Amino acid sequence: MTDDKERLDRAIIAMRVARELPPGATVNLGIGIPTLVSMFVADDSIVFYHSESGVLNCGPLAEDGNEDIDLINAGGQFLEPVPGMAYFSSVDAFAMIRGGHVDVTILGAHQVSATGDLANWMLPDRGVGNIGGAMDLAAGAEKVIVAMEHNDRNGNPKVVQECSFPLTGKGCVSLVVTDVAVMEPTPDGMALREVAPGWSADEVQSVTGARLIIPDSVAEYEV
């Protein structure tokens, strides 16, 4: 049983993802855990943030009292102005995404399949959902990293063999970072790369809906 095993908190997931960002990369952060990633990018690793709201090189979330309704991110959160920003329209924001100019996007997900299909815009129960910029990011960003909890509130696995929820993009995910493991979708299936401290590969498999490809030795999360 893994029910009582300690899982990593959201900040640690964000820290682990931050290590995937090469210096000089242009990064688009989705809503939720991905937004936290910017807090953990090392000071000496320069990363540029792109937002579908129409701003490049934007700063961190605004300090209290410093909110400006004309400077927001894609989730509607207020941003701090920083030197070197550029503003543009939505058509240019998505030209950048589709045109392959965004190096990395970090997205949340409802499900990720063994081969990297992504489902993150609609829960079938609701019958309607918000696509927002997710499909454009899935199709256009050079690298898609999913940062999410390994299981949903009811314990259902979110890493699955095949997605049952409506897709955002096919075969687009290149890395999955959760609160128990780091995994890499491959044409052959989901490969386990790292496990959270205290977790074995078998334990990760027991809470995962996809058959994991488990190497002889699995590294522990490094953050």
Partner 1 sequence: MTFSKLYDTPATAVADIHDGATLLIGGATRNSEPTALLVALLASGVRDLTCVCDFADWDGSEGVLQLAHAERIASIISPFPFAGESGGVIRKQWQAGALAVEVIPQGTLAERLRAAGAGIGGVFTPVVLGTRFADGRETRTVNGVECVLESPLRADFALIRADRADALGNLAYQGAQRGWNAVMAPAARITIAEVDVVGEPGAIDPELVITPGIYVNRVVHAPPTGEQG
Partner 2 sequence: MPPAKLDPQAMARRAAGFIAPGDVVAVDSGLPSLVPGVTPPDLGAWFLRNNGMLNDLPLSLADAAAVTRGGYVDLAVVNAGQVDAAGSFSSLISTVHSGPNPPGNAVDLAAGSGRVIAMLPHADDQGRPNIVATLSSPADGLRCVSAIITDIAVIEVDSGGLTLAEVAPGWSGNDVRALTGADISISPALREMDFSPPTGVPPSKVYPDGPSAIADVPDGATVFIDGFGGPGGMAHYLLISLRDQGSRDLTIVSNTAGIARVVSFGTPPGRTAIDHSVLIENGQVAKAIASFPVSPSVSRPSEFELAYRRGEVDLELVPQGTLAERLRAGGAGIHAFYTPTGAGTLIAEGKESRNIDGRDYILEYGLRADFAIIRAHKADTNGNLVYRGTSRNFNAVMAPAARVTVVEVDEIVEAGQLDPEEIVTPGVFVQRIVKRPDAFTGYE
Q: Which are the catalytic amino acids?
A: 52
> Amino acid identity, residue 65?
G
- Give the dihedral of Cα atoms 84, 88, 94, 97; nearest 10 deg: -10
Q: Which stretch binds partner 2 (CB under 8 A): 103-111, 138-146, 177-185, 208-216?
A: 138-146
Q: Which stretch binds partner 1 (CB under 8 A): 23-31, 123-131, 154-162, 194-202?
A: 23-31
CB 129 within 8 A of CB 85: no
Pick the closest to residue 193 from 171, 165, 212 (CA basis): 212
Of 93-122, binders to partner 1 (CB under 8 A) are 94-102
167 counts as binding partner 2 under rule CB under 8 A: yes
61 counts as binding partner 2 under rule CB under 8 A: no
Rounded CA separation 183/194 (Å): 7
Q: Which stretch binds partner 1 (CB under 8 A): 4-12, 90-98, 115-123, 151-159?
A: 90-98
Count of residues near partner 1 by CB under 8 A: 30
Instruction: Determine the 3-state secondary structure of 176 from DSSP.
Output: strand
What are 180's two structure tokens? 């128990």
Q: Which stretch binds partner 2 (CB under 8 A): 38-46, 64-72, 185-193, 204-212?
A: 64-72
> What residues pair up with 184 in beta bridges, in sequence order?
191
CB 164 within 8 A of CB 126: no
CB 12 within 8 A of CB 177: no
Of 87-126, binders to partner 2 (CB under 8 A) are 87-91, 93-95, 97-98, 126
Closest approach of partner 2 to the CB of residue 164, in Å: 13
Q: 41 vs 55, which CB is nearer to partner 2?
A: 55
Query: In whole angstroms, what separates CA 111 from the centre of its chain?
Result: 12
Between 41 and 60, how does the x/- string for binding to partner 1 read (CB under 8 A)?
A: ---x-x-x-x----xxx---
Of 11-50, binders to partner 2 (CB under 8 A) are 31
Rounded CA separation 105/56 (Å): 14
Rounded CA separation 180/174 (Å): 17
> What residues pair up with 61 in beta bridges, in sequence order?
79
List contacts with partner 1 (CB under 8 A): 23-24, 26, 44, 46, 48, 50, 55-57, 81-88, 92, 94-102, 139-140
List contacts with partner 2 (CB under 8 A): 31, 51-55, 67-72, 76, 78, 87-91, 93-95, 97-98, 126, 128-136, 138-140, 166-170
